[in-house]
Amino acid sequence: MKQPTRTTNRLHFSDLDPLRFEDLCLNIVSRTDTFREINHFGRKGADLGVDIFAIQNLEGKEKIWFIQCKRFIRIGKADITDIVDKVAMNVALPDKLLVIVACDVSRNLHQYLKDYSSEKGISEVEIWTASVLEAKLYKDYKDLLFVYFGVRVEKKTQDNATRIKYSLRMKKRVEKELIDHEYLKKNRTPDLLSFKPYAKFITHKVFIRSVDDTSYPDSDETPDGKISPWFRTFFYDTYHNGIEFWLNVAMSTPIIMDEHGFWEPLSHDDKRRNSPKYKTFYAIQIGRIPYHHIVEILRDGDEYFSEPHLFCKFDIQEMPYEEIYYKTEGDPERKIPDWDLDKTLRTEFPDE
């Protein structure tokens, strides 16, 4: 049985076909500004670094945009150089270069794009990363979320009211059935839950099961990039919207961090762990399942596993989690709590 393999619940733009990714970019660009003209050259090949050509009317003046779409899993300095060099081969340079990529970009690489573009005579440049694309989709283009990723976003107030009422009922049930109130009464240490938040639960182990699963208790092979429809994990804490689970108890995740506090989670065989450029430490991975994704609780398990079973909806990119994040691993004996890593400083450093 495989444990969860995805590290975030983000949209996987890299799963799209390259031409489909271009189509998505075209849809977003065409809605972002008022353009007098938009041409999509990428599908025709030999585009000289111009997948999308657009003319924008701006205060009575025309502004030429060159837009390059790259469905990269990772992007490096050489890729940026190649993108700008191809654009610079055009007879007339654009007023603005927009680069859209399917991955995240480090601050240093972002700055290199601006500096190198300026050297080549391109004065204005912008880059949309995976996180920017996702923010635009969820905020302004929910219809495209469904068209390209099959993700439906609740729109109606009535649906939200129903969800809130259900969540409050499930929260009360979780507090009644899964929290060890007798233990908490006997252990009234004020800071107990600050250093051991998982101590509040009736047990550490728990089974997460998809409401759509029919394989349990057998272990079917899980396709790469997906999680098993049922698996064992560990309680960690509760939060305002649901329950948190400690996903990597057996093996913490290596983290590298630069001098500015930017960080990246790595696989255990990544050679960058030994680089003198980074500080390396380990973090715990926390998954959050909202109350409204919990359909049923089997407190005492079944004839196969006696730990609690939570039957959940796996409808966020085929996972039950609304968020997965990282915390530094503390030391309860030394009164050092776990500490959240700053999500805004997560990045991808270049390969070595």
Domain with 265 in it: 177-217+226-345
Assess whether pLDDT exceeds 70 at residue 8: no
Would residue 161 count as lying in a domain?
A: no
Find the mean pLDDT for residues 282-289: 95
How high is the pLDDT of residue 33?
A: 66
Task: In whole angstroms, give the CA distance from residue 241 to residue 312.
Answer: 14
Find the mean pLDDT for residues 285-304: 95
Would residue 158 count as lying in a domain?
A: no
Residue type, position 34, single letter? T
Is the same domain home to 145 and 186?
no
Of 333 and 292, the structure prediction assigns the larger pLDDT to: 292
Which conformational region is residue 210 in: left (phi greater than 0), alpha (psi within -120 to 50 degrees), or beta? beta
CA triple 138-224-267, angle to 5 deg? 85
Structure tokens at 228: 């098993």
Most confident among 54-63, 70-79, 180-189 (mean pLDDT): 70-79
Would residue 1 count as lying in a domain?
A: no
Is the same domain home to 198 and 320?
yes
Would residue 54 count as lying in a domain?
A: yes
Work out the percent of the chain whose per-residue pLDDT is above 90.
Answer: 57
Would residue 262 count as lying in a domain?
A: yes
3-class SS at 20?
helix
Would residue 155 count as lying in a domain?
A: no
Please state the φ and ψ torsions of residue 36, each to the nearest 5 degrees: -75, -30
pLDDT in tens, 94-131: 999 999 999 999 889 999 999 999 999 999 999 999 99
Would residue 162 count as lying in a domain?
A: no
DSSP 281-340: EEEEEEEEEEGGGEEEEETT--SS--S-EEEE---BTTBS-SEEEEEE--BGGGTB--EE
**Boundary residue ending a domain (132, 149, 166):** 149
**Boundary residue ending a domain (149, 164, 190):** 149
Helix or strand (DSSP H, E) at 87: helix 77-88
Is the same domain home to 139 and 191?
no
Is the same domain home to 252 and 293?
yes
Structure tokens at 48: 């000289």
How high is the pLDDT of residue 224?
A: 65
Is the same domain home to 57 and 118?
yes
Average pLDDT of the chain is 87
Is the same domain home to 144 and 197?
no
Is the same domain home to 260 and 198?
yes
Work out the percent of the chain whose per-residue pLDDT is above 70.
Answer: 91
Pair 35, 55: CB distance under 8 Å: yes
pLDDT in tens, 235-264: 999 999 999 999 988 889 999 999 999 999
Assess whether pLDDT exceeds 60 at residue 5: no
Is the same domain home to 138 and 185?
no
How high is the pLDDT of residue 210?
A: 94
Whether this prediction's pTM lies above 0.85 is answered by no
pLDDT in tens, 90-103: 989 999 999 999 99
Is the same domain home to 207 and 328?
yes
pLDDT in tens, 171-187: 999 999 999 999 888 88
Structure tokens at 27: 């849809």
Is the same domain home to 122 and 195?
no
CATH number at residue 35: 3.40.1350.10
Strands (DSSP E) found in the chain: 35-40, 52-58, 61-70, 96-101, 125-128, 205-210, 230-239, 242-246, 253-257, 263-265, 279-290, 294-298, 309-312, 323-328, 339-340
Is the same domain home to 140 and 182?
no
**Into how many domains does the chain fold?**
2
Task: In whole angstroms, give the CA distance from residue 78 to residue 258.
Answer: 21
pLDDT in tens, 267-280: 888 989 889 999 99
Is the same domain home to 25 and 144?
yes
Would residue 159 count as lying in a domain?
A: no
**Beta-carbon contacts of residue 349 (< 8 Å; ≥ 6 apart):** 106, 256, 258, 262, 264, 272, 278
Average the pLDDT over each of 7-21, 59-73, 173-187, 221-235 and give the range with the smallest value: 7-21
Q: What is the number of other CB atoms lying within 10 angstroms of the CB of residue 37?
A: 11
Distance, CA of 274 to chain centre:
26
